[in-house]
Amino acid sequence: QICGNTTGTFRPNTTYDSNRRLILSSLASNVTSRDGFFYNSSFGKEPDRVYAMGLCIPGAESEDCSDCITKAVTEMIQNCPNQTEAFSWPGTETLCMVRYANSSFFGSMDLEPNLLRYNAGNITINMSEFERIWDAFMIRMIDTASAGRRGASSSSSGKYYAADITSLTSFQRVYALMECTPDLSPGSCDACLRANVRKYQECCRGNQGGVTRRPSCYFRWDLYPFLGAFDNISSGAPPLQPLTSDGDDGDSLSVGAVVGIVAAIIVIVLVRLLALAFAFCRRKKSHQEVDFQSGDDISTTHSLQFDFKTVEAATDKFSMSNRLGQGGFGEVYKGILPNGTEVAVKRLSKTSGQGPIQEFMAETLLVAKLQHRNVVKLLGFCLEPEEKLIVYEFVPNKSLDYQLFDPKKQGQLDWTRRYKIISGIARGILYLHQDSRLIIIHRNLKASNILLDADINPKITGFGKARIIAVGQTLENTRIIVGTYGYMSPEYAMHGQFSTKSDVYSFGVLVLEIIIGKRNSNFHETDSKGSNLVTYAWNLWRNGLPLELVDPSVKKSCDSSEVIRCIHIALLCVQENPMDRPTLSTVISMLTSNTITLPVPHQPGFFVQSSRDQDLSTVDLESG
Ligand SMILES: Nc1ncnc2c1ncn2[C@@H]1O[C@H](COP(=O)(O)OP(=O)(O)OP(=O)(O)O)[C@@H](O)[C@H]1O
């Protein structure tokens, strides 16, 4: 419970005092009678008006919720006798929240004041493994909580809540709970929870638990189930890989297998390093791209190894009937693992040279580190001398280009779905740029690298050309241009400069494609000769005709203000000057809040390429 000691006081028995008692005393019944978890309102006339909010975790029993709020209100009136504002997030069985103030706070994200407590016990197991599991778990939790499911009944508020458990070792679990007040936008909830997790990390990494409370959000984790909310969670999302370093895991790989895998990977890494060194000497390169095949990656991915025979059986010996498609590395097959999990298996073509082998390895090591619902999930790999396979989660609705650019299928992608796809891709890229522990530049974002799951959620794939750049570094140079024309920012296509802003550019092109339902590479408007999609959209925008861009098959289903906002955002992303382009976190704020004023877009940049949507594997800037 925090009384706002710096924000003012009132005298006892004044109108403000009685208004506060009145609104707080009816809070418990208002919360439980509405939709059972949230109520906010104000009472009285200015300047004695009191604004109040009450909240319980969604799904809480009405009685528990009411008890929690009543107790919080009683303690608040006792402990904050004359403070004009206060908030409390109490709970032993059920979490609830009560807040009041003398000015409106509805809809605003308030991070201060905050209160941090931690469990003084230390983590007694391998810290780096613990952090790997804990960090991934927190990212997943923040994502789930801030996704903000819409209230089921009359309330249109989001339910920003997540309670989950993950395995740490075969006998230890991590319990975590997060909640935001439902008046926030998903972006603000995300930012608030992130601030809470960061606050805990800065203070108390290595401790056995902690709780951070702010007016707008709550975060707690511990090694025991601290609230009744965990009773109904069996395992939640599939547990992460248990620690392998305890030595108590009966399913862990044999020492021989681990040594074999590590040795194979080290040989490949050495080959790559030698090749890089050779290229370095030959070309006298003055700069280097950051290589992400470090020893760290190897040690953290060994537990993902699959046995070739298992994968071979899962795909019915890579039968034609299981073939899903052909990519840059080779064929992709559908498979079913012995436990019933559907998978997609990427099989490196046997005729591949060193380049594709390196890309394949890079993709494996990189994607193994990622965990986000808008990034395709790697389940494992098999790196035998004769066979190199990556096993991904199976994403059933094919790639976005397959649905979006087919005149017979594109009608199924109505505007709501397209908007959801745009938001999901943005969240996936944000994760790559800023939320994972690495800064990842994808460098090949395009419609065919977006897969759609059963609910048409997008999942980013195609990481073979991705690069990790050092934290704090914003720009990288390369002479080897990889990616796909049409989606490439002009500074990258012409000067080899890539940064998070080159991905932002590709995202802008993708958004325009999603709105118009046509490939940028096939774009030839008869009335605007020589035009490309970016300039076509820009000209329509300048002439005040943005809605002419919209795919006729979604025109009826679309919310025109939402579409115009998306076109506006896309045009901000494809601006010529990378500095003018927004970051993905700004893009997400722009997508989620109608109240943010969008800047006026400047002239877009584009790179003219005569051949169509050419996928570049290796184009050396010097040789052209
Ligand atoms: N995880 C997956 N689930 C379901 N289908 C998939 C999955 N991954 C790939 N596919 C299918 O296999 C095809 C080839 O995929 P792949 O990622 O190898 O190629 P690509 O994206 O076309 O090329 P690139 O190698 O340039 O990324 C895709 O078009 C898609 O239909």
pLDDT band at 250 (very low <50, low <70, confident <90, very high): very low
Ranked by mean pLDDT, which of 19-28, 417-426, 607-616 comes out on top? 417-426
pLDDT at position 327 is 79
pLDDT at position 526 is 52
pTM of the full predicted structure? 0.55
Residue 35, token pair as written in the block = 């939709």
End-to-end Cα spacing for the chain = 65
Which amino acids are annotated as binding site for ATP, given as ranges?
346
Q: What is the pLDDT of residues 166-194, one digit of tens each?
A: 988 877 789 999 999 988 888 899 999 99
Query: From atom 13 of ligand 1, which residue's Cα is the shortest distance away?
Result: 325
Ligand 1 pocket by Cβ (under 6 Å):
324-329, 332, 344, 346, 376, 392, 394-395, 398-399, 448-449, 451, 461-462, 464, 615
ipTM over 0.90: yes
pLDDT at position 300 is 42
Contact 486, 505 (CB under 8 A): no
Contact 197, 264 (CB under 8 A): no
- For β-strands 388-393 and 378-383, DSSP reports them as antiparallel
Query: From atom 19 of ligand 1, which residue's Cα is the shortest distance away?
Result: 327
Q: What is the pLDDT of residues 94-129, one digit of tens each?
A: 899 999 999 999 888 999 888 888 887 788 788 888
Q: Pick the more confident residue, 350 or 143.
A: 143
pLDDT band at 252 (very low <50, low <70, confident <90, very high): very low
CA-615 nearest atom, ligand 1: 26
Query: From atom 20 of ligand 1, which residue's Cα is the shortest distance away?
Result: 327
d(C-alpha 160, C-alpha 168), whole Å: 25
Distinct helix (H) and strand (E) counts, the chain: 17, 25
Of 60, 376, 371, nearest to 237 by C-alpha is 371
d(C-alpha 200, C-alpha 204), whole Å: 6
Residues 6+ apart with CB under 8 A from 120: 207, 208
Rounded distance from Cα 458 to ligand 1 centre (Å): 13
Q: At what angle do helices 533-542 and 500-516 cross, to 10 degrees?
A: 70
